[in-house]
Amino acid sequence: TRQEDGFTWQKNVLLNIEYWTRQRMPASWAGELSGVPAFICGAGPSLDISALKLSAAAKKGVVFSADSALNALAKYNVMPDFAVSIDIAKAPEKCLVTGKIPNRVLVSAISPAAWVNAVPQDNLFFLSGRQITEDWFTAQGLDRTGIATSESCGSTALELAHYLGCSPIYLFGMDLAADATDPIKRHMSGADSTLYKDSGYDPARQLPKVPGNYVDKLPTFLLGDLRPLNARLSTWPSELVHNVNDRGAVLENTTLV
């Protein structure tokens, strides 16, 4: 991964440094939405089914979206309050819907620098990550943001909702596995396929199996994301997180809806 992406990571970090140091997620956000329901949207294939239910409930809480899910939410006229994009490959033109920019967009130091011009300055916030240049800035006295980027945009959005104090939290499209009946399908239909063309995913190869919500075992291509996410969820209060899903992998300490 370092050989393939290391240069792009560092290039983006250097292009973003000016903004990363002064447009950071404010520490004052901690607990600011205490007791407000949150809806977290990943880009799993189940979102094709659950997005309609979300659209009926969206105004009753705060909507957090992974970048790849923005297109699907726009089709149902759901405007996210927070969007998260933390990957090097996800340029804003592949994620944002014209005329429907989320109220707040959170990015990382390795995100494409084009996000700085694609989103109004007052709407864009940077999160700390795990890059060595960021470690150097921390050593110079620049505090890290209250939460850091995690394994994916969806899990980072979930971390953000928890940090803000949201409760209860409902997950949509957080499958963390391929579709059990169609392993080729691993994202909702509206996702831009070019975002994942270099992922190396091959549904024909042997994938690790994990417990499923509705089947004993199902294949996952996101084991490296699922394990740390489950580890964090297991430490959170019970009954806090509800997984609205008709498929997908089991998420620890969540209530299946």
Q: What is the DSSP letter of 247?
A: S
Q: Identify the residue whose tokens are 């006295």.
A: 141
- Confidence class for position 159, pLDDT limits 50, 70, 90: very high
For every residue of 28-63, which 3-state class applies, written as one string?
HHCCCCCCCCEEEECCCCCHHHHHHHHHHHHHHCEE
Residue 84's beta-bridge partner residues?
Answer: 66, 106
Distance (Å, rounded) from C-alpha 173 to C-alpha 157? 12
Quote the pLDDT of residue 201: 47
What is the predicted pLDDT for the residue at 86? 96
> Which alpha helices (H) appear in 140-179, and where do they start and end?
153-164
Amino acid of residue 36: V
Please name the helix (run of DSSP H) or strand (run of DSSP E) that holds residue 64, with its range, or none. Answer: strand 62-66
The 10s digit of each residue's pLDDT in 168-227 is 999 999 999 887 776 666 666 766 556 545 555 455 577 889 999 999 999 898 999 999
- How many other CB atoms sit within 10 Å of the CB of residue 36? 16
For the chain, the average pLDDT equals 90
d(CA 205, CA 183): 11
| Tens-place pLDDT, residues 85-113 | 999 989 999 999 988 899 999 999 999 99
Average pLDDT over residues 235-252: 96
Q: What angle do CA 176, 250, 150 make, to 5 degrees?
A: 45
Please give the single-letter amino acid code of residue 241: V
Question: Per the structure block, which two tokens stand in for 253?
Answer: 């300490």
CA dist., res. 99 & res. 80, Å (int): 13
Q: Which of 39-43, 91-95, 115-119, 199-203 bottoms out in mean pLDDT, i.e. has the lowest?
A: 199-203
Cα–Cα distance between 198 and 96 in angstroms, integer?
Answer: 20
Q: Can you give the pLDDT at residue 59?
A: 94
3-state secondary structure (DSSP) of residue 66: strand
Instruction: Tell me how far apart the alpha carbons of residues 12 and 111 are, in angstroms, rounded to a whole number.
Output: 6
b/e for 211-247, b at 16 or more Cβ within 10 A? Answer: ebbeeeebbbbbeebbeebbebbeeeeeebbbbbbeb
